[in-house]
Amino acid sequence: GENVEQHPSTLSVQEGDSAVIKCTYSDSASNYFPWYKQELGKGPQLIIDIRSNVGEKKDQRIAVTLNKTAKHFSLHITETQPEDSAVYFCAANSGGGADGLTFGKGTHLIIQP
Amino acid sequence: DAGVIQSPRHEVTEMGQEVTLRCKPISGHNSLFWYRQTMMRGLELLIYFNNNVPIDDSGMPEDRFSAKMPNASFSTLKIQPSEPRDSAVYFCASSLAYTEAFFGQGTRLTVV
């Protein structure tokens, strides 16, 4: 089955700086890579996703890059703000979104004022 | 839309008791997923349904766990008998095939 590794487990950045979270996956058949943000006491919420037919996707301050050859993908958050503090999860799915997701262990992002 | 609705939000039960967690997916979604979240193991997929039919239950830890989806608007996850190591947050999620999965708020289960 799929295995997703995520790092770092904790990331502390100054407000206004950029944050980068990296993930690797094992199943070359995986073709859907979402990123979820989880705030305390809430369920994960999708913030951005990418499919294997593109290498990069942006949405305002958030971007995701995908390297299929190396089987890794990254989340980039620019101009970080206090409300970006949360736990972020990467995930992979070989069913393109129709099957259950395999999640990384999460990154606790702390934005220092 | 109210989103994915889970109940109860919190459940405290004694070891050996039966626990039933409930989920109402988003109307129109045809896939439903049950996940378990713990500090040690992160988010684990337990089982998922497509059009009310269980497709993959390989993540269900033991025979003590069972899940049903009698119709498109309701699913249950049952643990019988419950054990302290079942303590976790259980999430239900739903999606329309090949699109984003929406998660509920979760049920925090504590087995004492």
pLDDT tens column, B72-85: 999 999 999 999 99
pLDDT tens column, B83-111: 999 999 999 999 997 788 999 999 999 99
Rg (CA), chain A: 13
Cα–Cα distance, B102 to A43 (Å, whole number): 9
For residue A104, the chain B residues in CB contact (below 8 A) are: 42
User: Cβ of B106 and A43 within 8 Å?
Assistant: yes
Q: What is the mean pLDDT of residues B42-69?
A: 94
Helix (H, G, I), strand (E, B) or coil at B86: helix
pLDDT at A54 over 90: no
Round the average pLDDT of chain B to a whole number and report it. 95
Do residues B102 and B17 lie in contact, with contact meaning Cβ atoms separated by under 8 Å?
A: no
Residue B73: other Cβ atoms inside 10 A: 16
Closest Cα to residue B104, out of B13, B4, B10, B18?
A: B4
Among B43, B50, B102, beta carbon nearest to A89 = B43
Structure tokens at A109: 């992002």
Phi and psi at residue B86, in whole multiples of 5°?
Answer: -80, -10
pLDDT at A32 over 70: yes
Residue B41: other Cβ atoms inside 10 A: 10
Per-residue pLDDT at A97: 66
For residue A44, the chain B residues in CB contact (below 8 A) are: 43, 91, 103
CA distance between the termini of chain A: 41
Q: What is the mean pLDDT of residues B38-54?
A: 94
